[in-house]
Structure 1
Amino acid sequence: MNKENNVCVVVDSGSSMRESSPEVKEREISILPLEVKFLENGTWVPYLDSELSADEFYNKMAESKILPQTSGAVTGRASKLYESLAKESDSIISIHITAKHSVAHESALLAANLVMEANPEVLIEVIDSKIVSIGTWFLAEKAALLSAEGYPLEDIKRLLLETVPKIDLITFLPSLNNLIKGGRVPALKGMIGNLLNIKPIIGFIDGQIRELSKTRTISKAKQELVSRFTGIKEEVVKLAILHTNNEEGARELQMDLASYYPGTIPVYEAGPVLGVHAGSGAVGIALLKK
């Protein structure tokens, strides 16, 4: 069987994309699902995030007293996917959410090595996006476009690694509840923050979640996002809005940003990876700079 010359592109579902997403089908990108685990009757029960709709996920999280866990242990699923794609192409690039908060990258790297050992003619490159959600998707989309243009694997890898530091994701959280449950904010500090109605603004620095600033109201949090964007708007070549179960807030931000950005600003619902940490109601921006 003759194989295609194009590089096959894989991205994990921490990118907030599903196999059914129109963008995924258009770019012919393969989605590697991650797991989210809920404590049910004393047992951690795993679900592929593709098995839960957004409404189901946020409803289950709201009902759970214990914060759900996300799992990037994808070695088995990744191996099967790479083996399947290796029948189509000898070149695969696999893009994953930040290795600082997920083992997806490490698990995919293990799977890639196993598949390459069994198939010496196949080359698989595994990329740490150092971000999550739509920021990770930006890289996958770029990889697919480069592949369609005939770029070889080594050039796609180089261009993606050059792009990683040019992607930002900035999000405001409606409360500190999930950060408290997840142990990322000490309980007492978090309780005081909630009493003071603090709305933290978070971002990623070298793959690590960091608090960038604090605001007191949702309206001021949105103003902060707009201000951060307008401060660098001349550098931005791609912009998207993401939210966790808050489309109304996302659409309001979309209207606010439309005055400053001439291009299309798509709105996406973030997947469980960001939803677990941010909680329901968060709104953020993902942007790619020159």
Structure 2
Amino acid sequence: MPVKILADSACDLPKSFYEEKHVYLFPLKVEINEQEYEDVKTIDPKTVYDAIRSGVVPKTSQASPLLFEEVFTEMAEKNEDGIYIAFSSELSGTYSTAVMILDQVKEKYPNFQLTIVDTKCASLGFGLVVQEAARLASNNAAKEKILEDVLFRSQHMEHIFTVEDLDYLAKGGRVSKASAFLGGLLNIKPILNMEDGKLVPIEKIRGKKKVYRRLIEIINERGSNLQEQVIGISHADNEGSALEVKAMIEEEFHPKEIYISSIGSAIGAHTGPGTISIFFLNQLSS
């Protein structure tokens, strides 16, 4: 029996992926105007971005503990072996909740073999990890091999992104309101990355074109064997810019593949519309 792969919606992969690759989805929650939705399942990212543009501040919450209990219990009863690949524990309580529920389920089913991995990744950086795990599982790879790959990619995945408007990060407490105000006046765009699962600003650049050129420089500085990689680009209702960045990456690095996805409702509720993110490995093999 193939190893069952489970993931939450913060990996920003489309609904069709879960259906086609038989990956179980745990949706994070998004609340708009006191109405709660399930990321991927009952709300699309455009709805979130339109709400933000109209002045609404969406709220998000972790995946359902009850759903974790139901799914884990069913797997245990069927004696299924699985890997739940989780969103960074530094950005959500979903991972810790899943671990707690797993411990409870194992009290009744001590031989249950589910493994939970804190990727310390987000958005399509997380998604690229899930994609490869699903591919390996579909080819009946051993659980140890899948886990080894998941851990390696999680540890070496670079997340580089820039946002359209600093106000969105200010509302989430990521930058000061004063910085956001000055950034808007001066057309300053931040470049951020993930360090040990946390969001960290690394540079501020004036002007979109200069930001995109700097993103390419950072890929060159940090990437490894880029021509052999699948590079990910995720965007928040900003496909035109994503395609522009894709063309720059293709011209500069000639990667094996460039995969583009929309930033999902849960992640997008915090980044705001216009965000462009790039994901690649800083080491291709151990």
Q: Does the pair score TM above 0.5? A: yes
Q: Which amino acid aligns with 2:45?
A: A
TM-score, with structure 2 as normaliser: 0.90
- 3-state SS, counterpart of residue 257 of structure 2: coil
Structure 2 letter corresponding to 1:45 = Q
> In the TM superposition, what is the alpha-carbon distance from 1:45 to its structure 2 partner?
3.3
Identical counterparts, % of pairs: 25
Q: Is the 8 A contact 2:235 2:263 kept in 1?
A: yes
Residues 125 and 232, structure 2, Cα contact 8 Å, conserved in 1 = no
Contact 1:170 / 1:202 at 8 angstroms: preserved in 2? yes
Aligned pairs (5 A) from 1:90-105 = 90-105=80-95
2:45–2:268 Cα contact (<8 Å) kept: no
**Aligned residue number for residue 37 of structure 1:** 31
Report the RMSD for the aligned CA atoms in angstroms: 1.9
**Matches of 2:133 and 2:78, distance apart in 1:** 17
Residue number in structure 2 paired with 1:166 = 156
1:62 maps to 2:53: yes
Deviation of 1:232 (Å): 4.0
TM-score, normalisation: structure 1: 0.89
More deviation, 130-139/70-79: 70-79
Q: Is the 8 A contact 1:233 1:261 kept in 2?
A: no
TM-fit CA distance, 1:57: 1.8
Equivalent residue number for residue 262 of structure 2: 269
Taking the aligned partners of 1:118 and 1:154, their CA distance within structure 2 comes to: 25
- Equivalent residue for 2:118? 128
Matches within 5 A, 1:1-290: 4=1, 6-18=2-14, 20-21=15-16, 23-38=17-32, 40=33, 44-49=34-39, 50-65=41-56, 67-86=57-76, 89-236=79-226, 237-259=229-251, 260-288=253-281, 289-290=283-284
- Given that 1:96 and 1:127 are in contact with CA atoms closer than 8 Å, whether structure 2 keeps it comes out as yes
After superposition, the C-alpha distances for 1:170-206 in whole angstroms (9 at most, x for unaligned) are 1111110111111222222221222221100111001
Unaligned runs of 5+ in 1: none
d(CA) in 1 for partners of 2:142, 2:101: 22
Amino acid at match of 1:57: V
Contact 1:174 1:281 in 2 (8 A): yes
